Amino acid sequence: MTDPIPAISSPDRERLVALTRRSHAVIAGHQDPGGAYPASPTFSAYRGYAWLRDGAFTAEGMSRYGDVGSVDRFHDWVTDVLAARAEQVAGLIAAAGAGQDLPLDRMLPTRFTFDGADGSDPWWDFQTDGYGMWLWAVVTHARRHALALDRWLPGVEVAVDYLLTFWDRPCYDWWEEHVEQRHVSTLGAIHGGLRAIAEAGALDPTRTRRALHVAEQARGLALAEGTTAGRAGDPAAPHLAKWLGSTAVDASLAACVAPFGLVEPGTTIAAATLDAVARDLDVDGGVHRFRADVFYGGGQWLLLACLLGWNRAVAGDRAGALRHLQWVADHATEDGELPEQVPDHLLAPERRDEWLERWGPVATPLLWSHGMYLILADELGLLPEDDQR
């Protein structure tokens, strides 16, 4: 049963709604004319690049806000980028089928320049989660706005084929770390994407069958090897773990509940996973990535506060969800931009300066933070009326 929306004072409601308008304007204003959503237009290490991971959630926020044109352009852009790589992917699949050892630098990149190239700056490639997230985002957008998926099929098929072959390869995680591991949040994104596209009925029968099968294999692997069940220090209720064989918690695991449904919302393992994330990583409504984080001293991430809040809303805990939304709004800059993380509570304060020296101030605005804010505001019914957007 869903709790009623908790009482919000009128000025607070106005502030929260105003930040949705601002979030939409920030994302729309920085979208590349070709359709890409830059991760952070001014941040030294991200400038000039678009990630599928950031883009998928940013698109979901914009789709909920009702900016269909912006989201269509993003999905058109991804489709063009992936369709142009169809031959490369076919070659990779053939090589894997022939038993060749494929080095990471032959795989698809994690981020693209706005014209769809790999770019010349080295990065932590290879990561598969973004391909699953994009499939989920394009299906969700098409369903919400009653759009045909055919337009995006050339890109969709490349992403599907790529994941069907490489879904269980170790790769970098959401945070671009630990390439040697198989990450449960990555399996969650792949499960969510493949299941969404298979159930959308847009694929041919063979791809549909294989997509459903791999989605189930990803779930089976995560449940068999990626939970704390039976491990030392196992709590009474096992929860999903950071990677196969680990007992650590990572805030990205919340996405394995909502939106990706690797574990169904409301099940014991879903609740235990969200509880573990909250217990280990939520401080005053702001959410850390994982306890051992040292990036910029290991601050609290706005997009993760929104992800946990989204899960609270899905579980019917609207007061809990609102607490996260308010925390995020409290950390907007004076001109309404949302950073990637804030340093109110650092897990490794002694490590902050080295990152400031290396890459400069924290990425601000981070479009993914704004996209997540739109999603959580929508969950709470706090988007402006259509005629006031």
Q: Tell me, residue by residue from 21 to 50, as one string, x for binding to ligand BGC by CB under 6 A and - for no binding.
A: ------------------x------x----
Closest chain position to ligand BGC (CB): 39
Annotated catalytic residues are 173, 176, 340
Quote the least distance from Cβ 368 to ligand BGC, whole Å: 6
Token pair for 3: 């709790």
Closer Cβ to ligand BGC, 51 or 272, answer by number:
51
Quote the least distance from Cβ 213 to ligand BGC, whole Å: 28
53 is a contact residue toward ligand BGC (CB under 6 A): yes
Q: Which of 51, 131, 134, 296 binds ligand BGC (CB under 6 A)?
A: 51
For 37, counting Cβ atoms within 10 Å of its Cβ (0-12 exposed, 13-18 middle, 19+ buried), the class is buried
Stretch binding ligand BGC (CB under 6 A), from 63-71, 169-177, 184-192, 353-361 = 169-177
d(CA 332, CA 18): 12
Q: Which of 131, 152, 175, 373 binds ligand BGC (CB under 6 A)?
A: 175
Helix (H, G, I), strand (E, B) or coil at 34: coil
Amino acid at 284: D
Quote the least distance from Cβ 330 to ligand BGC, whole Å: 21
Quote the least distance from Cβ 304 to ligand BGC, whole Å: 10
Stretch binding ligand BGC (CB under 6 A), from 57-65, 172-180, 211-219, 221-229 = 172-180
Binding residues for ligand BGC, rule CB under 6 A, total 10
Quote the least distance from Cβ 53 to ligand BGC, whole Å: 5
Closer Cβ to ligand BGC, 190 or 200, answer by number:
190
54 is a contact residue toward ligand BGC (CB under 6 A): yes
Per DSSP (E only), the strands in 82-146 are 111-113
Q: Which parts of 101-130 interact with ligand BGC (CB under 6 A)?
A: none
Token pair for 320: 């809990």
Residue 128 neighbours by CB under 8 Å, 6+ apart: 162, 163, 166, 167, 169, 171, 186, 189, 190
Dihedral sign for Cα 189, 195, 197, 200, please: negative
Stretch binding ligand BGC (CB under 6 A), from 19-27, 67-75, 174-182, 317-325 = 174-182
Closer Cβ to ligand BGC, 211 or 302, answer by number:
302
d(CA 83, CA 152): 9
CA Rg, the chain, in Å? 20
Residue 204 neighbours by CB under 8 Å, 6+ apart: none
Contact (Cβ atoms closer than 8 angstroms) between residue 163 and residue 128: yes
Label residue 59 left, alpha or beta by phi (over 0 means left) and psi (-120 to 50 means alpha): alpha
Quote the least distance from Cβ 291 to ligand BGC, whole Å: 16
Measured in residues, the chain has a length of 389
Q: Tell me, residue by residue from 361 to 380, as one string, x for binding to ligand BGC by CB under 6 A and - for no binding.
A: -----x-x------------
Closer Cβ to ligand BGC, 39 or 270, answer by number:
39
Closer Cβ to ligand BGC, 15 or 291, answer by number:
291
Closer Cβ to ligand BGC, 317 or 337, answer by number:
337
- Output the 3-class SS for 278-324: HHHHEECCEECCCCCCCHHHCCEEHHHHHHHHHHHHHCCCHHHHHHH
The gap between the terminal CA atoms of the chain, to the nearest Å, is 30
Closer Cβ to ligand BGC, 114 or 175, answer by number:
175
Helix (H, G, I), strand (E, B) or coil at 30: helix
310 is a contact residue toward ligand BGC (CB under 6 A): no
Which residues of the chain form contacts with ligand BGC (CB under 6 A)? 39, 46, 51, 53-54, 174-176, 366, 368
